[in-house]
Structures are given as structure tokens and as C-alpha cells.
Amino acid sequence: MIDSGKNIASDLLAARRSLRGTPWDGSYLDHFVQILCRLDADRHGFAAGDLTAIEAAWVGGDKAAWSGGFVARLNDGRRVHVDGRAGLTHWGEDSDIDSGLVEGREPHPELGARYGWQQHNWDEELTRGLNEFLAKLAAERPASPSSQ
């Protein structure tokens, strides 16, 4: 679990920079870090620091724009989905994220397809990579006071 302190965005960006040139490096990670930095507890009901694990992830294949998302488990046991889209301005005004709770036994919401975003498939390798990133980030951050 990642501490949900105020410096999560700077910690996410620092962890991303530390992975440049490593086997974990990839442009997909830049976009997912952008999504994580934009999660806001007041607006979305959870923040990046609340993520315990990524259960499934996807990324679109269109080269002009980017879309991707994931289903995650939160530290309080809830399951959530997050979908992001970066348009031609690369995380400018034509970009957004959408999130919500995953209800019951629903394994994977189809929000990307519903909004007309690029076709996507759930990607196990991407899921493993994002979990490795979260584990590395958690290992580099100080433990929250409640976990000590």
C-alpha cells in the first residue's frame, strides 16, 4: 500500500524518472503516472495513495491519441476502475480521466468502449508492470504513521 500523503504526485514523478533506461521503462508508464497524478480523493473518491494493487490494465493502440485504464483494489477493500485519455495535446484540454466503483463481481468495466475510445484488450504484462511500479513506489516512500 502506498501512503496517501500530499507528496504523492512528486513521489510518483520521481519514481517514474528513476525507472528511465530500466526494464520497467516504457511510454505506457508515463501515461499511467499522469493518470495517477490526476486522481483526486474529493473528486474521484480515492487518490493514487489509496491503491493497493492493480487487478487488470489495458492500453489503446491508436498512435495519434492515447487511452488506457485499470481496475484496482484500494486499501479499504473497494474495487475501482480508472480510464484515461490523452488527446493530441498530450494531457492538455482534450484529455480526461473517468473513475468509479466496480460493483459486485463485475471483473472489468467497459467504459473505454462505451465512450468510443480506442479498442482495447486487458493486458496481463501491463498489469504486472504497473504492480511492480506500485511496489517500487511503496518501498521508496516512508511508511504512513498508521502503519507503524
**Mean pLDDT, residues 53-73 taken together:** 84
DSSP state, residue 22: S
What does the alpha-carbon distance between residue 79 and residue 29 come to, in Å, rounded to a whole number?
21
What does the alpha-carbon distance between residue 138 and residue 12 come to, in Å, rounded to a whole number?
10
- Residue 147: which pLDDT band, with cuts at 50, 70 and 90? very low
> What is the percentage of the chain residues whose pLDDT exceeds 70?
78
> What is the tens place of the pLDDT at every residue in 109-143?
765 555 555 566 788 988 998 998 888 888 777 65
**Mean pLDDT, residues 67-84 taken together:** 92
Comparing 4-18, 46-60, 63-77, 93-107, the range with the smallest average pLDDT is 4-18
Q: Model's pTM, two decimal places?
A: 0.79
> What is the tens place of the pLDDT at every residue in 76-95?
999 999 988 877 766 677 77
- Dihedral of CA 123/127/133/137: which sign? positive
